[in-house]
Amino acid sequence: MSQRPHLSTLTPSELRQRLHSPDGLRLQLGRFVAGIRSNFDSVADGLQALYADYPVATADDFCDYPVELRSSGLRRYVRPQAIFRFEGMQPFKPLPGDQAVAMLEWGLNWVFTNHAQHYLIIHAAVLERDGLGLIMAAPPGSGKSTLCAALALRGWRLLSDELAMIGLDDGLLMPLPRPVSLKNQSIDIVRQLPGQPVIGPIARDTAKGTVAHMRAPRASVEAALTPVQPRWILFPQFGAGHALDIEAHGKAHTFMQLVSNSFNYPRLGVTGFEAMGRLVDGCDGYTARYGSLDQIVPALESICTRSA
């Protein structure tokens, strides 16, 4: 993986040429190769900002997921719209062109969630510390991504901001480090954290409000082929003004909470049940209610140190 050139080695002109080419820009994302095609200059700029450290695959490499983000017809010139396609399918309605970078990230999430069915997939941020994995599962709006960004900027290895991918055979967490999705006030909160976060283009007035993404740490991208043993499962619940309250859970509660956050547990049937059972058996489960990063980060680091 390190032998391949990084995206940062491409000139802006070379990057645009690849995005316009039939094969697209072939980007190594963890164990997958995505072929990205686009005629949006903003997508090229966004990729340079957020994916500079990612290896570029060659045209000879198998492309797992070819995706396309385009504006077509007269709409290219008058109020352009971004249309996302995967293998001829158009899973979403078009969005305003200035939301193209955000739409690419959402589209890739959709592709992995619906087509990487050889993993148990949970809606969760995932990080690694001292060789062991922390899964933070929660619905949108729970503070998961902000906490994930804060931990990544403190040296935790980022495995994913959105998808915990658990191998059905080995039970290990498969890294898929990609930019961390931030919304509304969390953008400025993360921008002010130590660690020199790199924030990409800002998309305003999306269905999720104002959205931006933080570049994944380079060390996390370079370690993207190394799986991790899961050890902790956390259900974060941020609330402005909340006092810190961390509650340990039994296996049955943790199991059912994870099922409610899983994308493909029902589809996997018995295989999913067995994979979920092994995951829960090997982890400690907690719910954390908190009102600030200053509360939850040291408490979480203490838990993950003493129970490693």
Tens-digit pLDDT profile for residues 13-36: 999 999 999 999 999 999 999 999
What is the distance between the alpha carbons of residues 86 and 72, in angstroms, rounded to a whole number?
Answer: 16
Rg over alpha carbons for the chain, rounded to the nearest Å, is: 19
Convert the pLDDT of each residue in 179-216 to its tens digit.
999 999 999 999 999 999 999 999 999 999 999 999 99
Q: Which two tokens stand for residue 178?
A: 């990609």
What is the tens place of the pLDDT at every residue in 66-124? Answer: 999 998 766 666 678 999 999 989 999 999 999 999 999 999 999 999 999 999 999 99
Handedness of CA 241, 247, 252, 258 (dihedral sign): positive
Burial degree of 308 (CB within 10 A; 0-12, 13-18, 19+): exposed
With a pLDDT cut of 90, the percent of the chain lying above it is 91
Strands 209-214 and 65-70: unpaired
Q: Is residue 132 predicted with pLDDT exceeding 60?
A: yes
Rounded Cα distance, 250 and 25, in Å? 46
At residue 126, the pLDDT reads: 98
Contact (Cβ atoms closer than 8 angstroms) between residue 48 and residue 8: yes
Residue 18 confidence (pLDDT): 96
Dihedral sign (CA 137, 143, 145, 148)? negative
pLDDT of residue 1: 47
Global confidence as pTM? 0.94
Q: With helix as H, strand as E and coil as C, how does 75-108 read?
A: HHCCCCEEEEEECCECCCCCEEHHHHHHHHHHHH
| 3-state SS class at 289 | strand
Cβ contact 226:242 at 8 Å? no
Look at the alpha carbons of 200, 205, 206, 207 in this order and tell me if their dihedral is positive or negative. Answer: positive
Averaged pLDDT of the chain: 95
